[in-house]
Structures are given as C-alpha cells and as structure tokens.
Amino acid sequence: MNKENTIGLVTPEVMTVQEKLILESGKTLDSFDITFEVYGKLNKDKSNAVLICHALSGNHHVAGYHDGDEKPGWWDNMIGPNKPINTEKFFVVSLNNLGGCHGSTGPTSMDPKTKKYFGSNFPIVTVGDWVNVQKILMDHLKIPYWQIIVGGSLGGMQSFQWAIQYPSLIKNSIIIAAAPRLTAQNIAFNEVARQAIMKDPNWHGGNYLEKNTSPEQGLALARMLGHITYLSDESMGEKFGRDLKKSKLGFDFDVEFQIESYLRYQGEKFVSSFDANTYLLMTKALDYYDPLKDFGEKFYERLRETDCKFLVVSFTSDWRFPPVRSREIVKMLLHSEKNVSYSEIISGGGHDAFLMENKDYFQIMRFFIDEVHNSV
C-alpha cells in the first residue's frame, strides 16, 4: 500500500441531529446521522473551508486511506498535500449525503418508529434537501461560510444549488461535468435502471433487507447501464475494442468480448458496496433537479445576491452531461452578471473524466483554487 503524497489514514466522524428535518416532499425525519470526513486544519479566521459534494455512487471518503484499505478515497488524485485541492492550505469537508448507504441515515438504517429497516419507506430526498443538511453540518463544525464548494456531476449540481439556496454562505463554486437539469434522455436512462432493480425477484417492494436478501441482479444491471453512459465510445474502443476474452467465438451467450466481461465485473463489484434503494433515491434526486423551475422568478434574484465566483468545467467526450449543458449554466450565470470562468477540457474519458488525471484539467483547477487561496 503506497500512501506517499496522500493525507494518510483518515477516520470518519458522525454528526447526530436530534431535531426534526422537514424535507421538500413534506415528509419528516425526527433525527438522523451524517457520516463525514475532514482533512487539513481550519485556520484562525475560519476562511479556508472547502466542501466536497459527491455524485450518484460517491460517499464521504474522498481522500486518504481507511485502516486496512488497499485503495484511497475516490478523489484522492485531486485532494491532498500539494494537490489541486491542497489540504496544507484548506480545511476540506466531505460527507455521505442523507439517504446514502455509507453511514448516513438512509434506507439501510433502522426506522426508530417501526424498529425495522427504512427500506423503500425512506422518503425521497432532493438536492435542496442535501444542501440544507450540508448547512446543518457547516453549523455543527462552526464554519461561518464555505470558501469553495466543489462537485462533479450530481455533486456539481449541489455546488450550484448552494449559490442559489444560501447565496451569502459560499464564496467560490466549482461545477464540473454537470447540468442545470436533466434531459428526457437522462431521465430515461435513470428509469431503465430503476426498473431493472424493481423487476428483480428479490426486490420485495423495496423491503428486501427484511427478507435477508437483495436485488443484486437488478442493481448490477443498473450499474452496467450507468457505466456505459459514464464512458465514451473512444475510451471503450481504446481499452477494449472488439477484443475477445477467449481465442475464438463460442457461438453461445456466455461472455465473449472483453467489454462484456468488464461490465459484468463492474456490476458485480458494485452490488457488494451499494444499496438498491439508495440507488433509486439518487436517481430521483437527479431527475427532480431543476432550480430554475423550483425558484421561478426568484432564481435570478438569488443568483444576483451572491458574491460567489464560479468555475464551470466540462469534457469534450462527455455525452451524459455534454459541454452544451455546462454552457447553459454559464449563460445563466452571465445573465445574472456573475464572475464565471468556463473551461472545456479535451478528453476521451467520457463523463468519468472528472475523476481522472488530466494535465489541462488539473492545471485549471489548481490555478483557480490557488487564486482563491491567495485572495483569502
């Protein structure tokens, strides 16, 4: 295990909230837990706090190692000593969002009222709900405002939402590979994934944990479908092409092409670390996200209130959230007379490019973040 140039071993923390939380759906949680991690130190005037918002299958563990882990957090190439998000300069906070399955209260948690797993009875949560919970975590850590909020994909939507929902509490927003709302095609992908899960014979109306089982086949199929949309045709072609797993065709329906083997592996690996109900919740949060509709006439008013500066980043081969969707966000910000920088990175990595090392991408991130640090 090579822990050089990382923040080393990290230990998750838990915030327990005993106050009632009212969700956008109107439903409530009497109490809840949020699992989070922190890296670096909060400076004396508390002006160096950075929030990391995760995407659909992410969690709080973005950097460093947990004891016994072979692999670091999912964004370890971006966060750490002397990395673009430099933990020697910033106090970095990451959390597992409400409804998650990595320690925060969600469908795999016990409902204190019924003494059973929440399962499919866990309420639908929105990006706005997550931002409200992140605000509670900010207060818990005694942080007066976020110097930077960073996120890719669904995480980028949360960063954008902060500037609208709490315009005075964010100084800089980095929105990567995101969109201001989902297209019909993206909603369709999410619906097919949900149907794959809910048609699994082990679904049991979403209460599969009470049956000591899980809709693993459906969740694996959902992940396989999602993974196809996260890659580009170029990246799949370069990595797999039409390579066969065996020396010749088998003339059957077993795994024959390397890409088939890869997708099945990704699906099988995913079901060991993720919950099907959480997957459904995350896709619904994506589908519902539409701040222009939600805030109506106040949308641009709220954006004009904030002094936040923005960096919007897209990737040329991302067809899930292509550059044109990022440019929609840029146009909204320019219409609100905001200070916004936009970068379209040449990359063959598809939607997942925001997780990959890319010289131009990392230079732009480092330049923007260093400028923020120098201005503090």
CA triplet 159, 142, 80: central angle to 5 degrees? Answer: 55
On the CB side of 184, CA atoms within 13 Å amount to 0
CA distances to 20, 23, 227, 371 from 307, rounded to whole Å, are 31, 27, 37, 16
Instruction: Please report which helix (H) or strand (E) contains residue 148, including its range.
Output: strand 148-152
Q: Is 318 a catalytic residue?
A: yes
Of the residues 153, 173, 317, 326, only one is catalytic, namely 153
CA triplet 295, 296, 300: central angle to 5 degrees? Answer: 80
Both tokens of 297, joined, read: 């006439």
Q: Is 153 a catalytic residue?
A: yes
Find out whether 89 and 367 touch, Cβ atoms under 8 Å.
no
CA 329 to chain centre: 18
**Main-chain phi, psi angles of 129, to 5 degrees:** -60, -45
Find out whether 109 and 30 touch, Cβ atoms under 8 Å.
no
Tell me if residue 151 falls in helix, strand or coil: strand
Both tokens of 170, joined, read: 């964010």
Of the residues 318, 336, 343, 352, only one is catalytic, namely 318
Of the residues 109, 227, 351, 352, only one is catalytic, namely 351
Both tokens of 181, joined, read: 């709302």
Q: DSSP per residue over 277-345, as a string?
A: HHHHHHHHHHHH--HHHHHTTHHHHHHHH---EEEEEEETT-SSS-HHHHHHHHHHHHHTT-EEEEEEE
Residue type, 70: E
Catalytic residues: 153, 318, 351
